[in-house]
Structure 1
Amino acid sequence: MMAERLKETEARLRRSGLRPTRQRIALASLLFAKGDRHLTVEELHEEALAADVPVSLATVYNTLHQFTEAGLIRVLAVESAKTYFDTNVSDHHHFFIEGENEVLDIPVSNIVIDNLPEPPEGLEISHVDVVIRLRQKGA
């Protein structure tokens, strides 16, 4: 079962145009093992260390950006100090729970975006990210 999952991960990396190095396979396995989720570089680094995957924070950062460029994940900039990486690359939006640093998906069908401006000449809109910030009532 584990060997089968590693082969799937290796094939996924190859299909995305990435060479399946040992570190990429290990990080992709951790990243995609729990379904769709949002996490930071630091959170994946902690998971890697807990799983005895010896990688530096810089390697995790570089690998996540390679995965983003390859279309495996998306970057979600919620606040200037923290970037989340989203394993769900389909069109959807997000709730961000302030104070808890938690990101939740909103299905794209729940929000209608209308009257977008025309992009400048030679450019097109690739996607629109909506982040709705939440806080506990009375906070």
Structure 2
Amino acid sequence: MKTIAQERGLRWLNAGGLRPTRQRMSLAALLVGDGHNRHVTAEGLYASALECGEKVSLATVYNTLRAFCEAGIMHEITVDAGRSYFDTRMDDHPHFFWEEENRISDAPNEELELVRVPKAPEGTEVSRVDVVIRLRKI
């Protein structure tokens, strides 16, 4: 019998049209199994999987996160060239990046006001706008 976390993970994978392999099921349960949204790095998710006894490589975690993004059930937020976070919350919303802690969190959406987005070059369209507000202690 599946746990609640496994059931939530399976529904999440089904929403993206993804085949529920053992590793996808395990990572999906870690990401959405408790019903809360997550901001994770590949390395952090890999560590969590190992703690749960899942035999998975870091490369598989990266590939699986990319597959989740391509399936439209997760977003990648790039903070800089070497650092990406993956977000299970799919609505448009801004993020805080806490520089000293190297973590990302949701920022209040109702306080962000974008008046205008530049027109996309001919032959393209804006697919999404990511807003990352960097924070440091003073």
TM-score by length of 1: 0.90
SS at match of 2:94: strand
Which range moves more in the overlay, 100-109 or 69-78? Answer: 100-109
Aligned residues with identical type, % of pairs? 47
| 1:56 equivalent in structure 2 | 57
The ranges of structure 1 where at least 4 consecutive aligned residues each deviate by more than 4 angstroms after the TM superposition are none
Question: SS where residue 3 of structure 2 aligns?
Answer: helix
Deviations, residues 11-31 of structure 1 (Å, cap 9, x unaligned): 321231110011100000001
Alignment partners' CA distance in 2, 1:136 and 1:128: 26
Aligned position for 2:9:
9
Which ranges of structure 2 fall in alignment gaps of 5 or more residues? none
Give me the TM-score of the superposition, normalised by structure 2. 0.91
Asked if residue 131 in structure 1 is aligned to residue 115 in structure 2, the reply is no
Q: Residue type matched to 2:20 in 1? A: P
Instruction: Decide whether the 8 Å contact of 2:98 with 2:104 is kept in 1.
Output: yes
* Cα distance, 1:4 vs structure 2: 4.1
Encode CA deviations 1:79-122: one digit per residue, 9 max, x unaligned.
Answer: 22111001111110011111210211013221111232111123
Equivalent in the alignment of 2:23: 23
Residue 102 of structure 2 corresponds to residue 101 of structure 1: yes
Aligned alpha-carbon RMSD (Å): 1.6
Distance in structure 2 (CA, Å) of the matches to 1:122 and 1:25? 38
Alignment coverage as a number of residue pairs: 137
Residue in 2 that maps onto 1:32: 32
Structure 1 gaps, min length 5: none
The amino acid that maps onto 2:91 is S
